[in-house]
Amino acid sequence: MIGRHSLELALPGASIGAVAGAMAGGLTLLAGQPTGMAALSALALAVPLGLFGGLYGVLLGHGVFRPGTFGPVGLFWMAAFPVSRLVQESVAGVGMADGVLPFLAYQAMVALGFAIGFVWLHERLMPHWLMRRAGANPEAKALFGEYIKHAQAMQSARKGSRR
C-alpha cells in the first residue's frame, strides 16, 4: 500500500492531470456540447489523467523516473494518455468511427505533446512542493536532493559550454 509520504509526492502530478482533463471539458463546452455532456467529458478525462499524473509523481519519488528526463516519461504518457482518452470516450464519447486501434494509435501520437506540457509544468511545480514538504517527508527530501543534483549538473554544463 502507498503511504502518506508517497501520496504527497503524487499531489502535483495528480493536480496537473486533473486540471488538464477539466480544461478539456471546457473545450467540449466551447465546441457546442450541452453543459451536462461537457461536465461528464471533463470528469471522465480528469479522473484518469489525475490518477496517472499522481502515479508519475510516485514513480519519480521511487527512482523509476529522474528529474530532467523526457524519454521514459514520453513512453509513460504514450500508454497512459490513450487509456485516459479511451475511458473518456467510453463514458462520454460519441463513438470511435474508425475503431479502437486507430483511435489509440492517434492518441499515442497526441500523447507526446501532452507529455511535453505535463513535464514542463511538473518540473516547475514539483521542486517548490518538495521544498515545502521536505521537513516532514523523507521521500520528498530525497527527491528534492535529486532535483538539486540535476540543477547543479545543468549549471556546470552551462558554465562548461560558455568557455
SS3 letters for 1-61?
A: CCCHHHHHHHHHHHHHHHHHHHHHHHHHHHCCCCHHHHHHHHHHHHHHHHHHHHHHHHHHH
pLDDT for res 95: 66
Quick one: which H or E segment has residue 155? helix 138-162
85-118 pLDDT per residue, tens = 999 999 987 667 788 999 999 999 999 999 999 9
Greater pLDDT, 68 or 145: 145
Q: What is the structure's pLDDT at 49?
A: 98
Cα dist from 8 to 11, 29, 50, 89, 143, whole Å: 5, 32, 14, 30, 12
- The answer to whether the CB of 144 falls within 8 A of the CB of 127 is yes
pLDDT tops 70 at residue 50: yes
pLDDT number for residue 94: 66
The model's pTM is: 0.91
**Alpha-carbon span 163 to 157, nearest angstrom:** 10
Residues 152-159, mean pLDDT to the nearest whole number: 89
For residue 31, the model assigns a pLDDT of 86
Q: What is the pLDDT of residue 163?
A: 63
